A and B are shown apart, each in its own frame.
Chain A
Amino acid sequence: MKTVSLDGAVVPFAEGQTVMECALAANISIPHLCFLPGFLPHGSCRLCTVKIDGRLASACTQPAMAGQHVEIDTEELRQVRLSLLRMLFVEGNHYCPACEKSGSCRLQKAAYDEGMLDLHYRPWYPKRKMDASHPDVLIDRDRCIFCELCVKASRDVDGKNIFGISGRGIDTHLVVNSKSGLLADTDISAQDRAVEVCPVGAILVKGRGFEIPIGKRLYD
């Protein structure tokens, strides 16, 4: 049987599995944000960066290969993860206490897990357009981390193809597939997988106000 070494643990893998998949199967945690089982790996957040035989790589996109030596929980990689999370926080506007997703947000959880206590970098305070045009669903683009999960879910699961990513560099932003560019002119519904799949508070269902009490939320 072919195996890889994950922080010293010898783990078997099947042909075609990625490093992330074989770690998940073995119950070894590699922090991640844009990766979600059931969707094609994206490799954009880089939070799952590991060191494979001395080189940094994203575990979600790297095919497992026999004899690989994978480092996950090292001081160097903790620093990389911490910096990446800080970068995601400063490029957006993440005022957690005022965000409906607080407590169920994967970015917030990852930051807690990695012990992030400050922003470190100067915040950018972006002013991307908000879309409150739809009666049931809201987009706050300043919280988007460009994981493209909504893009894939809407296209491949909901069969609606409502979202896309546009722009370049720091001007990268979420766009909506309608002539007006507004959510109101799409057939999105609050039950869509695309809405549920958003790891942060960028796509939210309207009409809810902190329904779940603190202590009972997903990651409390």
Chain B
Amino acid sequence: MGSNPLQLLIAIQKAFNHVPDDAICRVASALGLPISRILGDVEFYSFLSREPLGTYSVLMSDSITDWMLGSRELFLRLCGNLGVSPGVTRCDGLATVGKTSCTGMCDQGPALLVNGIAVANLTDERIDAISRLMEKQIPPVAWPDEYFRVESNIRRRGWLFQDWQGPILEGEVLLQEMTDAGLRGRGGAGFPTAKKWASCRDAPGSERYVVCNADEGEPGTFKDRVLLQHCAGRLFEGMALCARTVGAKRGFLYVRGEYRYLEAHLEAQLAARRDADFEIELHWGAGAYICGEESALLESIEGKRGIPRVRPPFPVTFGLHGMPTVVDNVETFCAAAAIAAGGGSEFRSLGTAGSCGTKLLSVSGDCARPGIYEYSFGVSVSQILEDCGAGNVLAVQVGGAAGSCLDASEFGRKICFEDLPTSGSVMVFDRTRDMREAALNFSRFFAHESCGFCTPCRVGTGILAQAMERISEGRGTEEDITEIGDLGGILKASHCGLGQSANRAVRDMLRKFPEHFEGGVN
């Protein structure tokens, strides 16, 4: 934790159920920072609060897949059991019940966080039992273990899950092997990984950093959670290989706060490492999707609000503390380590011309077997639907809230950078679903997660969400529909990818399923 403001504030929140104003001033003066910097953090990150929360702080995961599994009804049930209004702490200080963006448990939802720790597979019975435990003031550590069990649900294993044991390649040889294998970033953008590492190595700077992006906030993705659980050793190996290649001595693993339950496991895996030349530190997020954007993530590690930086300069030249920095996704580092250990030529032979190797997909929604599927790039959406046991499918959302919504005529399309690039979120909607709900959910998500820095996104996501609220309550107008389409042109002027893609899914849904929206407009 040391002197990192954000990590300190997370600890204070945990100890006092809020960050008192007095603590804000003290942290600021102890660290020699302006009060506004610390206050800025507290008011930016969702998991920090200035007002005291209850002894039990419950946050219900509010992803569309949670909705589909009945989370909204369970939320009301929990509020009813405890006699609290949403977001308002009970007057005896026992509990606060609120909502939070997708917690990455979509394959085993509905889920909630209690004092930051995930409880999945919620049912009426489980909600009632949890309510009773809280009323009896039994601390979560004494709750039944099964409540906190998180399944990995790995349904299809391929190249990445193989146990590559060849002689380890390093440095220039490794870069060449990664280039030959065609490794591109797995976090969504698909930048050639070897090129990124080489740029960082060649950039001037007195220090270098290697940062792993495990923020995984895109609704419907949970593959990094499973990799952290099963392949942490491989991940750290990949980060260390990168560090040796670029000349870094320090690395950070930025994990979203929702995965705090993994702390003991990750700390143990880190302690088991024997590498005096490269130290890896855990850095926890605190409820901000935007911190998955690489430059916002660096700001967050520096203890600031997660506001994306002006780019260029890119992190490879001007990254953490202004030094050359590699930021890669969990899956990218794991793949790099597997390529270094002899997996390169097989990787090259898999996938399509522009997208080599395999991709982990997080499949959730209306299907018999939600979970993690590893496919070679180029797999069709219909193949995935068949394998996960999805029938009577209306729509598939690929790439999370920022992705594309496909109708049945497009299920022949392929997962790859050339056709459907994605960090791996695949959400299935069957014909019983109302796509208006998904559109409402996604538009609220963006309005909640916009960092607020730039005008089009700060205001535009709000306008979009308000229009969708009206449409979903049956109070919409034709102008609302037109507005949602028109906003796309303005959102494109946003500072970062969040704003730029904020109306894509909703616009797709309006265009492809207009009949779902008719009832909302008069």
A→B interface (CB under 8 Å): 41, 43-47, 49, 56, 58, 61, 63, 76, 79-80, 83-84, 87-88, 90-91, 121-122, 124, 145-146, 161, 163-172, 175-179, 181
Within 8 A of A (CB), among B24-43: 25, 34-37, 39-40, 43
How far does the alpha carbon of A87 sit from the alpha carbon of B486 in the complex, in Å?
Answer: 13
How far does the alpha carbon of A80 sit from the alpha carbon of B454 in the complex, in Å?
Answer: 14
B462 vs chain A, min Cβ distance (A)? 5
How far does the alpha carbon of A87 sit from the alpha carbon of B489 in the complex, in Å?
Answer: 14
Asked, given contacts A46-B494, A164-B37, A169-B450, whether A122 binds B466 with beta carbons under 8 Å apart, the answer is yes
- Cβ–Cβ < 8 Å partners of A124 in chain B: 462
- Besides A44-B453, A172-B453, A179-B25, 19 other A-B contacts (C-beta < 8 A): A43-B454, A44-B454, A45-B455, A79-B490, A80-B493, A84-B490, A91-B459, A121-B459, A121-B463, A164-B36, A164-B40, A166-B40, A166-B44, A167-B40, A168-B452, A169-B452, A169-B461, A170-B452, A177-B35
How far does the alpha carbon of A79 sit from the alpha carbon of B383 in the complex, in Å?
Answer: 43
Asked if B310 and A87 make an inter-chain contact with CB atoms under 8 angstroms apart, the answer reads no
Asked if B459 and A87 make an inter-chain contact with CB atoms under 8 angstroms apart, the answer reads yes
Asked if A161 and B34 make an inter-chain contact with CB atoms under 8 angstroms apart, the answer reads yes
How far does the alpha carbon of A58 sit from the alpha carbon of B311 in the complex, in Å?
Answer: 11
Chain A to chain B contacts (Cβ below 8 Å), 25 pairs: A49-B493, A80-B493, A83-B489, A84-B455, A84-B493, A88-B455, A88-B459, A90-B459, A122-B466, A124-B462, A145-B455, A146-B453, A146-B458, A163-B36, A164-B37, A165-B36, A167-B43, A167-B452, A169-B450, A169-B452, A170-B447, A170-B458, A170-B462, A177-B36, A179-B35
- Cβ–Cβ < 8 Å partners of B72 in chain A: none
- Cβ–Cβ < 8 Å partners of B490 in chain A: 79-80, 83-84, 87
Contact among B34, B448, B460 for A87, CB-based, below 8 A: B460
How far does the alpha carbon of A164 sit from the alpha carbon of B310 in the complex, in Å?
Answer: 18
- Cβ–Cβ < 8 Å partners of B486 in chain A: 83
What per-residue 1/0 map shows which CB atoms of B479-504 lie under 8 Å from chain A?
A: 00000001001101111000000000
Asked if A46 and B39 make an inter-chain contact with CB atoms under 8 angstroms apart, the answer reads no
B313 vs chain A, min Cβ distance (A)? 9
- Cβ–Cβ < 8 Å partners of A122 in chain B: 466
From B40, B305, B453, B466, name the one whose CB has the most chain A CB atoms within 10 angstroms.
B453
Asked if A164 and B495 make an inter-chain contact with CB atoms under 8 angstroms apart, the answer reads no
Asked if A170 and B459 make an inter-chain contact with CB atoms under 8 angstroms apart, the answer reads yes
B416 vs chain A, min Cβ distance (A)? 23
Contact among A76, A87, A145, A169 for B456, CB-based, below 8 A: A87
Closest A-chain residue to B310, C-beta based?
A61
How far does the alpha carbon of A91 sit from the alpha carbon of B457 in the complex, in Å?
Answer: 12
Asked if A168 and B455 make an inter-chain contact with CB atoms under 8 angstroms apart, the answer reads no
Asked if B310 and A41 make an inter-chain contact with CB atoms under 8 angstroms apart, the answer reads yes
How far does the alpha carbon of A197 sit from the alpha carbon of B452 in the complex, in Å?
Answer: 22
Closest A-B pairs by Cβ, 4 of them? A164-B36, A172-B452, A87-B459, A49-B493
- Cβ–Cβ < 8 Å partners of B459 in chain A: 87-88, 90-91, 121, 170
Asked if B447 and A177 make an inter-chain contact with CB atoms under 8 angstroms apart, the answer reads no
Asked if A177 and B495 make an inter-chain contact with CB atoms under 8 angstroms apart, the answer reads no
How far does the alpha carbon of A11 sit from the alpha carbon of B25 in the complex, in Å?
Answer: 50
Contact among B288, B452, B494 for A146, CB-based, below 8 A: B452
Asked if A56 and B450 make an inter-chain contact with CB atoms under 8 angstroms apart, the answer reads no
Asked if A168 and B39 make an inter-chain contact with CB atoms under 8 angstroms apart, the answer reads no
From B34, B305, B455, B458, name the one whose CB has the most chain A CB atoms within 10 angstroms.
B455
How far does the alpha carbon of A61 sit from the alpha carbon of B310 in the complex, in Å?
Answer: 7
How far does the alpha carbon of A199 sit from the alpha carbon of B425 in the complex, in Å?
Answer: 43
- Cβ–Cβ < 8 Å partners of B305 in chain A: 165-166, 168
Contact among B448, B452, B463, B495 for A58, CB-based, below 8 A: B495
Q: Is B427 an interface residue (CB 8 A)?
A: no
- Cβ–Cβ < 8 Å partners of A181 in chain B: 39
